[in-house]
Every structure is written in C-alpha cells, then in structure tokens.
Amino acid sequence: MGPQTSYVDLLIIGAGPAGLVAAYWASEYGLDARVIDDKPDRVTKGHADGITCRTMEMFDSFGIAGHVYEEAALDYQIRYWRLNAEGRLDRAQSINSQAAGVSRFQQCLLSQGRIEELLEDRISRKGRLRVERDVETLGLTLHKRDDASAETHPVQVTVRQRGGGMGDENVEIVRAKYVIGADGAHSWTRRQLGLAMRGEQAPHVWGVIDLVAVTDFPDIRQTCVVCSEHGNLHVVPRERGMVRLYVQLDGVSLGAAGLRSEATLETILAAARKALHPFSLECARLDWWSVYQVGQRIADRFSVGGCVFLVGDAIHTHSPKVGQGMNVSMQDSYNLGWKVSGVLKRQLQPHVLETYETERRPVAESLIAVDQETVAFYAARGDHVATRDLQCFRERHYAFLSGVAIQWYDKGSALVYAPSAIELATGIHLGRRMPSYRVINYADARPTELARKLASDGRWAVILFAGDLRKAVQLRRLEETCAALVRSRLLRAPGSGKLVTITASPRDGLPLTGLPPLLYGGENGQDRDYDAVFSDEPDVYGAFTDVYAKCGVDGEKGCLVVCRPDQHVGFIGSLDDVPSLNTFFTGIFRDS
C-alpha cells in the first residue's frame, strides 16, 4: 500500500516565528491549514531576542502584547563605551533607545522560544490548527494549475513522520493550494525551488553568549556598545536577569583558517573579559552560546508559480547586530498571510499576491544595507572609534529599525490607492501603518486606543473622520457617505470590513442615536455596537489627545481612511469620495 494523500488549502513549512505568524492568519481566517516542522521541539534557548515597537504593535493586534511585556526586558537607553584620553574604558555617550512618541510600545527583549510559545498558544485557541513536529520533508513538486477549478492543489509535498520507522505507512503526500516556506536560512523549500541566495560573507566572526553575569561593569543591565583596544562587545539585557554578549572575535586566534568552528566557549569568554578590562566578568549561569560569521544575502525571488512563497531567513540573511532578524521575518508573514488567506477564502483576487514581493523586497534590501553599515560601526577599532557617534548613527537608521516607517506607497502597490487625497490627512502616511491615538468612546466616555479597533481579524477598517457633527451640513455629508457605504463593494462582502467613526464634535453635541444607524448598528444596521463610534474630546479628567490635529485632518471637513488587515493605510479620501473607494476595492475583491 502506497503513501496516503491528503489535501489542504495552505501548508506552512517551518514553525519558527515567521511560520507561526502565517499560521495566526490561517487560524483567524478559519483555513484548512497545516504547520509542519522538522525539529522535535520548539526552540527553548538562544536565537533571536530583539522586539521592535512595530512588532509589539503587531503582537497587540494578536492579543499577546501584554504577555510579552510581563516577561521581557524593556530597552530604554543605549550606552556607548570607548577608551578615554588616558586609555581607560569610559562611558562616552548615552542615548534613548527609542525616539519619543514613535509608538505606544517600547522596544524590548525576550527569547525566541518564548515568542514561539505565546504565538502557538494564541493559535491553538481557535482549536483547528496545531504544529506537527518531527516531520521530515522529502520532496516538492509543482503541478500545472487548472485555473478553471477552485479545487486545484498544484503543490505536492511528500513528508514523513519520524520516529515510526521508514516504511510507506509513515510517508504522506500533501497536496496544497498554497505553500509558505518559513524554514530558515538553510531553507529546504528554497532549495527545492532552485532559488539562489545572492550576497557576500563579511570577514567578521562574532561569538554570542546568554548568561547571568557577575561583574562590576556598571551598565550590565542596559544595552551597550563597548569599543576597546582588545576588541568590541555588544551588551544586551535579557529576561530573568540574563544578559546577552556579542563578542568580536576578529583577530582572536581561531586556528590557521580563522574559522568560526574553531571558537569555543572559553575563547568567547576570554575575548569578552579582555574587551571589558579593567572591569571583571564571571559567569554565574550559562544559558546558551554560539558563533557566527556575518553573511548578508537575499534570495533571487520570494515566490515561484504564484503558489509557493518564502518568508523570513529563507529569503534574507544578515547579522543579528541590528536586532531585526525575528522582527523582519515575522513582518514578512504578517504582510503575506492575510493576502493568501483572503485569496483562499475567495474574498481577494489572486493578483494581490504579487504585492508580497513588491512590498517586502525593498525592506529586505534596506535591511542588508543597514546591516552592512551596522557591522562596520560595531567592528571599528583604533583611531576609527574616536570619530564614531552613536547618536548620529542611530538617528540615521532609526525610522527603519523601529519598523514604523515601512511604507508601500512609493513602490506602487496594488493594495495602496495611488490617487488618494493624502492632503486631507497630513499626519497619516499612505502606505504606512496607521498610528494609534487615544479616543473617547461615544457611548460611555471610556478612553480607548484606536489600534484596538484595528485588531488583526482579517477585516479591512474604514475610519470615518466625521468632522464637527454639530453643523447640519456636516451631518448631512456623513449621512450621504453612509448611504453610499451601504452599497459599497467592501460592505457587500460579508465579514470583510468594519467601520470606525471619530467625530471632531463632543459627545454631548449630538446623541449616539442622532448619528446614521450604520455607524453603530453593525453591517446590517440592526445589532447595536457601542464600541464603534468615538469622539476627539478630552477625557473626563481633562486630558486631551487632539487626534484630528495629530492626524492632520480638518475638523470641519473630516475625511475617510482605509486600513488593510495588516494596519497599513491603503486609501485616503474625502467623505464624498466613496466612488473612488469602490474603484479601489473593485481592483482587489472578487465578485460576490
């Protein structure tokens, strides 16, 4: 008897952070999906740890940000140490780790294994999706897609469950409509597709250690860049009292070829102690250690055949210096997952999948460029160190490193409406993530973060900046807008859209029931929703956010803003311009 054949909408290969974010979208959309991983267990120690504020915003949209914050080490300040005029290691500079006001979340550090656990727990709540571990992938074949059949499963992946012998009874042929390869830098999926990684290997070798340190170095619980005559060191605080040390091994004796395989734990610790001299360093508890040589590469392509996609380290590799590996990898899946899911649910047209590479490749290219400069900065020695200014370096790259300035508009994405009237909301950037500000619930005066209404639930959000509704002419405009929205392409597709309204007038200026019923009655105008209309007014204690001013919206006229399921702004227009909104959605959504 031959291998059994099964059919699935989506197969995700790899259950690291990138694979699990893709799995989150699959569970949220209720897809028939599977997640397989060749390792018997999830990561428990080491690997990635940095979490940017934009990733925290994504976690918040998943409902796990609070759990991360409870355990993570928050990163508020960076210290720069180098030799002073007397040749002694001294603190030369202190800067903020994060620019003021960039996000309501602070960047932080928590182990990759714990992030994976939190994501997996969140996914399991839906009850349909679980990670299948210790599954070996044997072969991948792309069959010609029959465009006339929605049931076509063009990707064939042969797998075997380890631990049960080598017979056919443990081999399975999985036929999938789409496959996402999230299987790391040595991606099996990428190799099966015949895609190459282009780039170079930098001549820098670094050791990395997670430990509980006993030291008289005063900044051991802060992020530090230490540049000494004996080599450089990067100090990163971690959860549970640990610290991560990135130790430069260039120039350290590593055998005749200087290979990273020659490095030992003792080699790394000795180099760290030299870099920190005259401060002492002892290891009270060792958690994990490794050695890496810096390599910066990007894959030829991010997808093949319109049905197999790669995310994360499978398409870009770099050093861990910029703290972006896990973040950018998860953001790849955050960008791709809702698009694949929307296509599989027959909400979105298949061509939207082309936007994955057009939107994410520039991010990968920028990442490599920033990483190259960062590695050179951290590896500088001797006279070069005196000319290095950490503040200038961070300011030059912070917008990218934080993740909040990633923008799709300038690449002409089909999912960002280029004719948008961006002048109507000068504080909102078309193609960037929608900023969150505190608004006041119209029904009960409760302060609420706008982002809470943009949770990653698969729906597009139409944000109506309704303006000052105490004026009859503005209320009539809003009523006309609502009448047009009822007939719009978005609201005709059940479960695809949600409305969020923010007035520039106070709650007492017009009762909730004086507003168009569509705004507080759900999609069908019948079920009351007391959590969909908000006012830009002070809270009951007098604190005023002034959302209209921050978003650059005229309080007299208002405007209409549309956020994609990944919280990026896809459209900006006037309240009267629902026809343009329909044009935008006509190019995205399938016919009902």
Ordered DSSP codes for 270-339: HHHHHHHTTS-EEEEEEEEEEEEEEEEEEES-SEETTTEEE-GGGTEE--GGGS-HHHHHHHHHHHHHHH
Region 380-390: mean pLDDT is 56
Is residue 149 very low, low, confident or very high in pLDDT (cuts 50, 70, 90)? Answer: very low
pLDDT at 432 over 90: yes
Query: Is 347 in the same domain as 435?
Result: no
- Tell me, what's the pLDDT at 332? 97
The reply to whether 550 falls in a domain is: yes
266 in a structural domain: no
Tokens encoding 575: 């309240």
Please state, for a pLDDT cut of 90, what percent of the chain lies above it.
71
- Considering the domain architecture, whether residues 65 and 155 belong to the same structural domain is answered as yes
Q: Is 194 left (phi over 0), alpha (psi -120 to 50) or beta?
A: left
State residue 370's pLDDT score: 86
* Percent residues over pLDDT 70 in the chain: 91
Q: Flag whether pLDDT at 388 surpasses 70.
A: no
DSSP string, 468-510: -TTSHHHHHHHHHHHHHHHTSHHHHSTTSEEEEEEESS-GGGS
Mean pLDDT of 140-154: 73
Q: What is the pLDDT of residue 412?
A: 62
**Same domain as 459, residue 316:** no
Going from the C-alpha of 289 to that of each of 286, 379, 388, 394, 521, the distances in angstroms are: 8, 20, 29, 27, 56
Q: Which domain, by its residues, includes 576?
A: 409-586
CATH (domain of 346): 3.50.50.60
DSSP 8-state code for residue 433: B
Q: Which has the closest alpha carbon to 299: 282, 286, 312, 289?
A: 312
Q: What is the pLDDT of residue 570?
A: 96
Residue 231 · residue 379 · CB < 8 Å: no
Whether the per-residue pLDDT at 524 is higher than 90: the answer is no
Q: Which residues of 113-135 are buried (b: 16+ CB within 10 A; e: fewer)?
A: bbbbbbbbebbeeeeebebebeb
Query: pLDDT tens, 268-292?
Result: 999 999 999 999 999 999 999 999 8
* Cα–Cα dist 563/585, whole Å: 12
pLDDT grade for 296, boundaries at 50, 70 and 90: confident
Distance CA 560, CA 581 (A): 9
Which one has a higher pLDDT value, 430 or 49?
430
* Residue 466: pLDDT over 80: yes
- Kindly state the average pLDDT of the residues 4-14: 96
**Residue type present at position 60:** D
Domain match, 327 and 462 both:
no
Are both 435 and 311 inside the same structural domain? no
Shared-domain flag, residues 188 and 44: yes
Q: Which tokens in the block code for residue 321? A: 């210096």
pLDDT of 204 higher than 90? no
Q: What is the mean pLDDT of residues 522-533?
A: 73
Give the span between the Cα atoms of 219 and 79, in whole angstroms: 8
**Residue 293: pLDDT above 90?**
no
CA neighbor of 529 nearest in space, from 555, 501, 506, 561:
501
- Alpha carbon distance, N-terminus to C-terminus of the chain: 43
Assign 150 a pLDDT band (cuts: 50, 70, 90).
very low
Asked if 343 and 419 sit in the same domain, the reply is no
Last residue of a domain, one of 364, 381, 397: 364
Domain count, the chain: 2
pLDDT at residue number 540 = 95
Indicate the average pLDDT of the chain: 89
Span 78-86, average pLDDT: 90
CB 206 within 8 A of CB 291: yes
pLDDT tens per residue across span 307-324: 999 999 999 988 776 668
DSSP-derived pairing of the beta strands 197-215 and 243-248: antiparallel
CA dist 26 and 40 (Å) reads 22
Average pLDDT, integer, range 236-242 = 92
Same domain, 461 and 538: yes
Residue 145 has pLDDT above 70, yes or no: no
Mean pLDDT of the 17-36 span: 97
Residue 381 pLDDT greater than 60, yes or no: no
510 lies in the same domain as 574:
yes
Tokens at 330, concatenated: 């998860």
Which amino acid is located at 203 in the chain? Answer: P
Identify whether 94 is part of a domain.
Answer: no
Instruction: Assess if residue 129 is contained within a domain.
Output: yes
Strand-pair partners of 192: none
The Cα–Cα gap between 179 and 493 comes to: 26
Q: What is the DSSP letter of 239?
A: G
d(CA 429, CA 551): 9
Can you tell me the distance from the alpha carbon of 37 to that of 26, in angstroms, rounded to the nearest whole number?
Answer: 16
Residue 166 lies in a domain: yes
Q: Is residue 394 part of a domain?
A: no
The whole-angstrom distance between residue 567's C-alpha and the CA centroid of its chain comes to 11
Residue 238 lies in a domain: no
SS3 111: coil
Q: Are residues 539 and 432 in the same domain?
A: yes
Q: Contact 21/341 with Cβ under 8 angstroms? A: no
Same domain, 314 and 179: yes
420 has pLDDT over 80: yes
Res. 411: pLDDT tops 90 = no
CATH number assigned to the domain comprising residue 416: 3.40.30.20
The Cα 90–Cα 81 span in angstroms is 5
Residue 369, pLDDT above cutoff 90: no
Burial class of residue 165, CB neighbours in 10 A (0-12, 13-18, 19+): exposed
pLDDT value at 341 more than 60: yes
pLDDT at 257 over 50: no
Same domain, 111 and 173: yes
- Within a domain: 331: yes
Q: Which of 163-167, 228-232, 299-303, 395-399 is predicted with the least confidence, judged by mean pLDDT?
A: 163-167
- Nearest-angstrom CA–CA distance, 372 and 325: 14
> Half-sphere exposure (CA, 13 Å, Cβ side) for 237?
23
Instruction: Please give the residue that has the higher pLDDT: either 57 or 376.
Output: 57
Better-predicted residue by pLDDT, 388 or 123: 123
